[in-house]
């Protein structure tokens, strides 16, 4: 089974990448234009596999187009560059709404009282194989390279978080066992520091939402790593280094070459 999957994926990577698709990426994903030619070529292969293996479904009347599929796939696959990957193995489908959408939310407090509310969401990442995204917010997150907000990076970081077979908790599968101690120490310390900064009202590079849980901290840190790389490296050098080792990319250096 593994042999056939490996062979099929090799063929998909070698398929010609349409010029029309490249034009869509250049228009919708400005970060694509910052990648080296080698990284762009690698990304094309990842996208071919992603599109072949994942099912896209439009919601609330949205018709899924190649533009939608490519824009989402490219950003999801940027997180896979330079790494051994099984292409989000638990993920089977991506649901896409035209705009932010409403969901009914149930929450149980510490004494067992359950409350219900209606929440507006830009995206979700489910443990049983689904990512949900707002197309408007996919585009907005991709177009602004420096705001630190990218709903695709955020939700697919949650999928990476889930790959160790447990709940999303900020503990990802690292390439070497020796890396886990530093990862837990540094991300745990930075998560606690962000919670203190948020509680005291201090301005932070990392989005305040990252203070809600270790899982959200990792997803927010991923957004910041790719979109606010230089400020993150300057103010949180150890956190930046852990993310650099995990993602096998150095977006701060890449950004310097574009200035």
CATH number at residue 142: 1.10.472.150
> Residue 5 falls within a domain, yes or no?
no
Q: For residue 245, is pLDDT > 80?
A: yes
| Two tokens, residue 6 | 């490996």
Q: What is the CATH number of the domain that holds 246?
A: 3.40.390.10
Q: Give the residue-averaged pLDDT of 145-160.
A: 96
Task: Report yes or no on whether pTM surpasses 0.85.
Answer: yes
pLDDT digits 0-9 by tens, 39-51: 999 999 999 999 9
Looking at the 3D structure of the chain, how many domains does it have? 2
What secondary structure does DSSP assign to 182-245, as a single string? HHHHHHHHHHHHHHHHHHHT---SS-GGGGG-HHHHHHHHHHHHHHSHHHHHHH-HHHHHHHHH
- Which residues form the domain of 88? 11-163
My answer on whether 68 and 183 are in the same domain is no
Q: Report yes or no on 53 lying in a domain.
A: yes
Task: Give the pLDDT confidence score for residue 109 in this predicted structure.
Answer: 67
- Please give the pLDDT value at position 259: 57
Q: Same domain for 98 and 159?
A: yes
Q: Which two tokens stand for residue 138?
A: 């996919």
């Amino acid at each position: 089974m593994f042999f056939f999957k490996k062979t099929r994926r090799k063929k998909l990577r070698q398929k010609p990448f349409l010029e029309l698709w490249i034009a869509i990426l250049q228009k919708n994903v400005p970060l694509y234009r910052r990648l080296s030619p080698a990284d762009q070529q690698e990304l094309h292969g990842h996208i071919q596999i992603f599109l072949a293996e994942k099912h896209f479904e439009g919601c609330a009347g949205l018709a899924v187009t190649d533009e939608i599929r490519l824009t989402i796939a490219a950003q999801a696959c940027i997180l896979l560059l330079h790494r051994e990957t099984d292409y989000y193995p638990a993920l089977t489908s991506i649901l896409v709404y035209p705009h932010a959408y409403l969901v009914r939310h149930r929450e149980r407090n510490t004494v067992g009282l359950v409350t219900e509310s209606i929440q507006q969401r830009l995206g979700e990442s489910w443990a049983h194989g689904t990512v949900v995204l707002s197309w408007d917010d996919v585009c907005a997150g991709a177009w602004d390279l420096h705001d630190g907000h990218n709903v695709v990076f955020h939700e697919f970081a949650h999928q990476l978080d889930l790959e160790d077979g447990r709940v999303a908790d900020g503990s990802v599968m690292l390439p070497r066992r020796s890396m886990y101690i530093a990862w837990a120490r540094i991300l745990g310390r930075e998560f606690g520091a962000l919670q203190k900064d948020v509680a005291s009202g201090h301005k932070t590079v990392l989005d305040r939402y990252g203070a809600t849980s270790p899982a959200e901290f990792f997803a927010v840190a991923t957004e910041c790593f790719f979109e606010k790389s230089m400020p993150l490296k300057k103010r949180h050098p150890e956190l930046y280094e852990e993310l650099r080792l995990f993602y096998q990319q150095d977006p701060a250096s890449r950004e310097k070459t574009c200035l």
